[in-house]
Amino acid sequence: MEQTFIMIKPDGVKRGLIGDIVLRFERKGFTLIDAKLMLVSKEMAEKHYSDLKEKPFFGELVEFISANPVFAMVWEGNDAVKQSRALIGATNPVDAEIGSIRGDFATDVASNIIHGSDSIVSADREINLFFRRKASFAS
Ligand code: DAT
Ligand code: MG
């Protein structure tokens, strides 16, 4: 069992996609461990995306994430990090398969609906940042 951090970004919340996205994770067989609708401060957005701070879009990304509420979640299941990324689809919706969340709901990389941790190390860091506790990763 493994835990991952999933966040519906402000565009997904505004468009009323929380229910659909939660349903997809439930249908896949993952267990919801924690969830909250919240505003992300600029400082927190900068921390969350600190690996991208040299990118030209970093400022816009931080503004976008911190402007309106997000829906932050912790999901648990077998290989949850990797399998969640498959449910979510490629970063750029242009490359995301139809049937994935980004493939079905987004057209533009700057508003691609959802975030999912890209590794177990990131999941642990992000769960700690958003929910102030360690992830559990049973082997
Ligand atoms: P992912 O969200 O698939 O893990 P990432 O970590 O490389 O992708 O980037 C984080 C977010 O930054 C991504 O979901 C949307 C935004 N982003 C990435 N590339 C971008 C680009 N070329 N222009 C604008 N925003 C971009
Ligand atoms: Mg990423």
Q: Which band of pLDDT confidence, cut at 50, 70 and 90, is reported for residue 139?
A: very low
User: Which residue bears the tokens 């987004």?
Assistant: 106
CB 119 less than 6 A from any atom of ligand 1: no
User: Per-residue pLDDT averaged across 48-63, rounded?
Assistant: 98
CATH architecture, domain 2-131: 2-Layer Sandwich (3.30)
* Predicted confidence (pLDDT) at residue 119 exceeds the cutoff of 70: yes
User: Per-residue pLDDT averaged across 37-51, rounded?
Assistant: 98
* Predicted confidence (pLDDT) at residue 5 exceeds the cutoff of 50: yes
Q: Determine the Cα angle at 101 with ends 95 and 104, to 5°.
A: 70
Ordered by start, the domain boundaries in the chain are 2-131
* pTM listed for this prediction: 0.96
pLDDT at 134: 77
Q: Pairing mode, if any, of strands 2-8 and 31-38?
A: unpaired
| Most ligand 1 atoms within 8 A of CB, residue of 47, 61, 62, 88 to mutate | 61
Q: Three-state SS for 33?
A: strand
Q: Is 115 a catalytic residue?
A: yes
Q: Which band of pLDDT confidence, cut at 50, 70 and 90, is reported for residue 133?
A: confident
Residue 63 corresponds to which amino acid? Answer: E
CA-CA-CA-CA dihedral for 47, 20, 29, 103, to nearest 10: -70
Q: pLDDT by residue (tens digit) across 57-109?
A: 999 999 999 999 999 999 999 999 999 999 999 999 999 999 999 999 999 99
Burial class (CB in 10 A: 0-12, 13-18, 19+), 54: exposed
